[in-house]
Structure 1
Amino acid sequence: MNASDSHDRSAPGQGYNENLGYQQSQTAINNEQIANSSQNQNLSARSAQILIQNSGYALGNQQEDNSVPGKHGVVDIETVYHSVPSNGTFFGPYLRYKNVDVVNGVWFGSVMVVIESSDAPYFQFHPTSDITQIQAVAPRVIYQYKNYKFFRYELTIHQSRGYTDQFWTYALTLFGKTFTYQFLVAGSEETEWKFMAFSCADFSLGVSEEEREELGGVGYLWEDVMDKHKQLGGLHVMLGGGDQIYADRMWKEVASLQDWLKVKGKMNRHDYDWTPRMESDINLAYFFYYTCHFDRIGIRDCLASIPSIFQIDDHDIFDGFGSYPDYMQQSSVLRNIGRIAFHFYLLFQHQTTETILETEPDPWDLFTVTGRGWHFLKNLGPSAVILGPDTRAERALNSIIGEATHMELFHRLESLSSRVRHVVIMLAVPIVYPRLTAVENILTGIMHTKRAVNGAWNVLEKASSKVAKVVGAEHSTKKQFENVKKAFGKSGVMGSVVSGFGEVDLLDDLADHWTHKRHASERVFFVRNLQRIARDKNVRISFVSGDVHCCGMGKFFNPDAPENYQLMYQIITSAISNVPPPGPVIRLLHNSDKIYLPEINSSHKHTDTREEMIQFFENDVDGRRLDLQKLLPRRNYSIGAVLADGAMSWDLYVQKGGKYGSMEKSQKYGPLIVSPLPLDSTLLHYVNGPDGPGVEAQQRKQQMMGAPGGIYGPGGLAEDVHNLNVN
């Protein structure tokens, strides 16, 4: 639903009267403007310039841009890093979903715009079908960057009674121009919420211009999302699972980072000073990445019309952040880049700042446990919740989420209302995903021998030929290494710019995943506690993730009781914009290993919980039967919904157009039906469940949450890392 200064496009399923309703809305707005004309009189010289500009710079955002970031090397960012609002007035609007009070029937959200002016757009909103209920909202300046102000408008809406959804219209007026948008708010008793999930909304640094053009550009599937939004009568929420932007390009383009990249020696790199020039450049970089990318064709319409819930992943900072060796991760340069990245993440994706969060805590919104990282637990109607842990802020080589944060997440899930039947956990990186064991073993061997071998690159060439044979392309070793990275959502940006081989390499990229052996104990601890909560609270737990550039469905389950509380589905939706991994790597990921989830503090090979990817794709988008049916290397997004019978459904929408030569943009695969646990709790307790015979629930809880030394300390779970059992 593009903004317009001449008419209002109706929301899906609504018969908005443009000849009557919009005129009344415009009159109400204009009358209010006259009364408040003093605030709209002063137009800065820069704002006036914005209003008459029709296009941006070469790397800007005015039209779909197929130039490849980074291909020109270092650039003058003061010139190149400049974007112009496509509507000629402001960046945005960005519509955010905060939460819903299911007891009192109140919907909370906000709208944010960014404008190079002291004048805030005048904001009004009303039920789309009832202009008489129009009300104004005062703006709040939550931040200012240079001459740009971030204006946030709070929305508090009393839901319609019962099960009836209602469309709402909001209008932004400034300098004689009015932009109107519409969004959907569920009824107070409505359980059938509909939500779209995506990840990886831009191209990686190394994607060529030809690949971008062949796939139809960044916005191709975003336009399809808007089509589905209309066809389905409106989506209640949009779930951004990470990599909403790709900031990796800074390592190629920002001049002040180049000296650090050239530094030799670990301690020299660790001790390198953060400079005022770096501070200025990196702030400009993230501001540009967000304003440019969020204003692209397709994306901007979704951000304005579908209330969003966003989660951070590495590319929102830069590739692999948190999984580098300590001398890099704890260096002044990387820590300060992370600080600025999290600042702009909170601004653009959550419409807030750390200062606001710390001084004005909101029980309906983000929360922190340790002061590092912001998490959320939000209602999707009365029967479903979405939990979003921040898996980057506390990340280190041997951990993903801090111990105290794990405990608080468990506590909040244990406190859920008895009406909740589904818990969806947004994990940016999938917790169920195939391993690249052969590749890891080869690379680990190189890591142990390279220090004693002159000409380490020759060692790599020799060993990598084995990898190339595994993935089916002996003639292109280097390309296959890049392809393996793509299969795990990584670009190896730091490995390519810091060193050709040695300090940072593919092994570090693979360590970014839940399934890496470094995270095995934490993964077991996390999943086993979720099983306990699923049983005790009688809720079905599912995961939705992205990151890996291909789509698929996986699951944890008990083979002897396949529908019990241990059944947890993994929905993988990735990428909506980025390039898919190549076919040979997908073949490598289609292994037939039977993998079992160990017990906590147990060395038993066979346990009660297996994990596997589901054969979900019988045919490709062109109708050709697929031999590899577990993972599909096509751009995609997902739509989930709570059904009338209490089940949850998930469909994958996979790109069909572009190079595939179809007029349709996507093809639907699914649904995957996630049934709720039965209400009769006696059906949930199996003699041979994870408790084992004769172990009481309280003892089980103490075992899982009170391990000696916690997770990471002496005697903790991470001290004895269990490799996953392969049968």
Structure 2
Amino acid sequence: MGNHLPKPQRFEDKKSRIQQMVIIGDTGADFVKIWVKVPVAGKWTLSLSTSGFSGDLDSMDGKPVAQWLQGQAGIKTYTYDFQKDEGLCHTFNIDELEKNCRYYYLLTSEPDTKITEEGRTVIGDTSAAFFTTAKEHYDEVKFAMFSCHDPYSWAHPKEGAWPELCDVAQRENLDLLIAGGDQIYLDTNKGRMTDLWKCLARHKNELKQKTDEEIKDHLIGLIREYYKIYWNFEALADAYGRYPSYMIWDDHEIMDGWGSRTKEERIKLLRHFFQFDDDAFNLKVVDLAWQAAAQVYFEYQHSHNPWAQASINLSDLSRVHWDYSFQRGDFHYYVLDVRGHHDCEREAYRLLGKDQNARVNTWLNSLSGAKGAFIVSPVPVVHWSGLVDIADFSLSGMKDDLMDEWSHHTNHAERDEFLTDVLKASHDFGVPISFMSGDVHCASAYQLVDMSRFPKAQVSQVTSSPISRKPNPAVANVAVAKSGYMTKEVDGKKVATTVYQKRLFAKSGINNFAIMRALNVDGQNSIEADFYWPGEEDHEIVRKNISLTSGE
């Protein structure tokens, strides 16, 4: 790393970065949000066509894009002046589209934008780039769920299961993708990538010479580089550039165990014997880094989600809602935020906060007539066994990871209330509901049954992790919770609840993703999951099918 705080443009200077990229974000029958990253500042135009493009897309005869394309049928163009201080990225909000329609797109610089590439069009010229708008009605939905992208956790960077995801997505003609947390690692625990927090601890003397705004701006610049490095993988860009993608963060976009560390533990993370070690300054750096992480998460991930506002107020992040919902016909989705308002020192509602709990409850009460419902919780409701209960005694740095879990005793009251609301909605409305999670670096599936209170409920938990991070070893399967009644702590003692967790699948030691399929056949609603992972042979993909609503 060197002896000085790295400038963003020199950070990890041996690693390549994305120069341009497109993410197809929230998509409906007549609208789409398209996130664009360009290589240089200036005016760039995003062009859409229902029939594709023809002619010299590289030069466009030196004309403005709209003028050059005006003779081609069905063209829509959208221009934005990209700025360096905005990270050279922008989300286009496009409406008045046709339902269930394929749109091809181009990303092209305007004539007065100085570019270093040989041609003006940087996406969509040499190979077709396209997406498809949503249908109005669905009898079935198919989508991918994945999490934990860290190609630098290996001795040599690996794409993990991204190529397999692209193959399966194309074959299955998926409706959408859900990236369920940890799309980058600011604190990867391997030597291949700089740990942001260790870097800050080593360079506090230099930070001390900067104003608060200078520190925050510097950190925003550094975190943008993490995204540009982590997302510079072909299969990842191919997937995000074709299928509507819905994203949510987990802790590693901020700090390992964010929300499960006390204020004292956050301060301790920045203490360094050879650096200025005032705890008030350490806390200020943590708070500024939190603001920077939130800003860049907003730029790269949240700005193209449903409900996303045009900008966020970094000085009052407590008022920002990162959770959201959306639909595909009568199939409903709610994406929980378990980091933005997670506070282990709060008396109650430590994971979600009281306001988010209320919003989710309102959504649950709206599920009458739904054919299926999905709740994205980046950390699973059930996965680990009793290991979670000894988290407070861990000396290996695992304490915060395990305190993240719904199963940790400090979260039992919130978990039990939430599960009761979910089971009741499933029972009352006859709708199967599946939790979808990541975080834990292995895969599992459960049915959650409460015959005494909600006998008609069909609730399940699917966990898929990691897509590219080095997974937990196969032996970790012994720590995955087995079938049995969920427990809670009462007066310091473990007692059984009325919820029975039936383990359907567990596998460690693999990169993986899940394809979720929900359908209605002859009035019967069902959900199933296909887990995929790379096989031992080249181009081999292994699939494990799990029925989540069969009751078998």
- TM tier, smaller: 0.7 to 0.9
Alignment map for 1:187-266 (pairs within 5 Å) = 187-203=135-151, 207-209=153-155, 212=156, 217-232=157-172, 234-248=173-187, 251=195, 255-260=199-204
Q: Is the 8 A contact 1:251 1:258 kept in 2?
A: no
Aligned residue for 1:643, secondary structure, equals strand
Which of 320, 336, 344 is residue 288 of structure 2 equivalent to? 336
Cα separation, 2, equivalents of 1:575 and 1:581:
9
Q: Is the 8 A contact 1:193 1:641 kept in 2?
A: yes
Alignment map for 1:52-67 (pairs within 5 Å) = none
Instruction: Tell me the residue number matched to 2:21.
Output: 92
Q: Is the 8 A contact 1:274 1:336 kept in 2?
A: no
Structure 2 residue identity aligned to 1:383: D
**Could you tell me how far 1:244 is from its partner in structure 2?**
0.6
The reply to whether residue 424 of structure 1 matches residue 374 of structure 2 is yes
Which of 432, 450, 454 is residue 558 of structure 1 equivalent to? 450
Aligned residue for 1:651, secondary structure, equals strand
**Could you tell me how far 1:145 is from its partner in structure 2?**
3.5
Unaligned runs of 5+ in 1: 1-69, 264-270, 361-367, 447-459, 461-480, 482-504, 617-629, 677-727
Cα separation, 2, equivalents of 1:413 and 1:527:
11
Instruction: Tell me the residue number matched to 1:576.
Output: 467
Report which of the two has the higher share of helix: 1
Aligned residue for 1:578, secondary structure, equals coil
Cα separation, 1, equivalents of 2:507 and 2:214:
44
Instruction: Tell me the residue number matched to 1:80.
Output: 11
Which of 505, 512, 518 is residue 636 of structure 1 equivalent to? 512
CA deviation vs aligned residue, 1:484-542 (integer Å, no higher than 9, x gap): xxxxxxxxxxxxxxxxxxxxx43233212111111111111111122222233332211
**Could you tell me how far 1:150 is from its partner in structure 2?**
2.1
Q: Is the 8 A contact 1:93 1:113 kept in 2?
A: yes
Aligned residue for 2:295, secondary structure, equals helix
The reply to whether residue 168 of structure 1 matches residue 58 of structure 2 is no
Cα separation, 2, equivalents of 1:74 and 1:517:
43
Instruction: Tell me the residue number matched to 2:44.
Output: 120
**Could you tell me how far 1:250 is from its partner in structure 2?**
5.1
Aligned residue for 1:138, secondary structure, equals strand
CA deviation vs aligned residue, 1:292-336 (integer Å, no higher than 9, x gap): 222212111111111110011001112111111123448222221
**Could you tell me how far 1:597 is from its partner in structure 2?**
5.5
Which of 382, 386, 400 is residue 329 of structure 2 equivalent to? 382
Cα separation, 2, equivalents of 1:187 and 1:354:
17
Structure 1 residue identity aligned to 2:150: D
The reply to whether residue 515 of structure 1 matches residue 444 of structure 2 is no
Cα separation, 2, equivalents of 1:166 and 1:81:
41
Count of aligned residue pairs for this structure pair: 491
Instruction: Tell me the residue number matched to 1:12.
Output: none
CA deviation vs aligned residue, 1:46-69 (integer Å, no higher than 9, x gap): xxxxxxxxxxxxxxxxxxxxxxxx
Q: Is the 8 A contact 1:387 1:425 kept in 2?
A: yes
Which of 472, 476, 481 is residue 585 of structure 1 equivalent to? 476
Aligned residue for 1:351, secondary structure, equals helix
Q: Is the 8 A contact 1:400 1:519 kept in 2?
A: yes
CA deviation vs aligned residue, 1:19-44 (integer Å, no higher than 9, x gap): xxxxxxxxxxxxxxxxxxxxxxxxxx
Q: Is the 8 A contact 1:596 1:606 kept in 2?
A: yes
Q: Is the 8 A contact 2:386 2:481 kept in 1?
A: no
Q: Is the 8 A contact 2:412 2:489 kept in 1?
A: no
Give the direction of change, closer, same or farther, for the CA distance of 1:444–1:407 in structure 2 (3 Å limit). Answer: closer
**Could you tell me how far 1:356 is from its partner in structure 2?**
7.7
Instruction: Tell me the residue number matched to 2:271.
Output: none
CA deviation vs aligned residue, 1:437-466 (integer Å, no higher than 9, x gap): 4x854x6468xxxxxxxxxxxxx6xxxxxx
**Could you tell me how far 1:431 is from its partner in structure 2?**
0.6
Structure 2 residue identity aligned to 1:667: V
Q: Is the 8 A contact 1:107 1:185 kept in 2?
A: yes
Cα separation, 1, equivalents of 2:480 and 2:209:
40
Q: Is the 8 A contact 1:314 1:392 kept in 2?
A: yes
Structure 2 residue identity aligned to 1:120: W
Which of 384, 396, 404 is residue 434 of structure 1 equivalent to? 384
Report which of the two has the higher share of strand: 2
**Could you tell me how far 1:191 is from its partner in structure 2?**
3.0
**Could you tell me how far 1:422 is from its partner in structure 2?**
1.3
Instruction: Tell me the residue number matched to 1:300.
Output: 237
Which of 108, 128, 148 is residue 32 of structure 2 equivalent to? 108
Structure 2 residue identity aligned to 1:221: A
**Could you tell me how far 1:176 is from its partner in structure 2?**
3.6
Q: Is the 8 A contact 2:256 2:400 kept in 1?
A: no
CA deviation vs aligned residue, 1:400-424 (integer Å, no higher than 9, x gap): 01112201221133234x4322110
Give the direction of change, closer, same or farther, for the CA distance of 1:307–1:610 in structure 2 (3 Å limit). Answer: same
Percent sequence identity over aligned pairs: 19
The reply to whether residue 608 of structure 1 matches residue 545 of structure 2 is no
The reply to whether residue 412 of structure 1 matches residue 363 of structure 2 is yes
Instruction: Tell me the residue number matched to 2:190.
Output: none
TM-score by length of 1: 0.60
The reply to whether residue 654 of structure 1 matches residue 533 of structure 2 is yes
**Relative contact order, higher structure (CA 8 A, sep 6+):** 2
Q: Is the 8 A contact 2:465 2:512 kept in 1?
A: yes
Unaligned runs of 5+ in 2: 55-70, 110-118, 188-192, 268-282
Cα separation, 2, equivalents of 1:261 and 1:429:
36
Q: Is the 8 A contact 2:424 2:454 kept in 1?
A: no
Cα separation, 2, equivalents of 1:281 and 1:117:
19
Aligned residue for 1:552, secondary structure, equals strand
Structure 2 residue identity aligned to 1:337: A
Aligned residue for 1:528, secondary structure, equals helix
Structure 1 residue identity aligned to 2:287: R
Cα separation, 2, equivalents of 1:598 and 1:121:
55
Structure 2 residue identity aligned to 1:668: R
Cα separation, 2, equivalents of 1:177 and 1:262:
41
The reply to whether residue 310 of structure 1 matches residue 234 of structure 2 is no
Give the direction of change, closer, same or farther, for the CA distance of 1:369–1:647 in structure 2 (3 Å limit). Answer: farther
Instruction: Tell me the residue number matched to 1:395.
Output: 342
**Could you tell me how far 1:275 is from its partner in structure 2?**
4.6
Cα separation, 2, equivalents of 1:122 and 1:606:
56
Larger radius of gyration: 1
Structure 1 residue identity aligned to 2:300: F
Cα separation, 1, equivalents of 2:333 and 2:5:
41
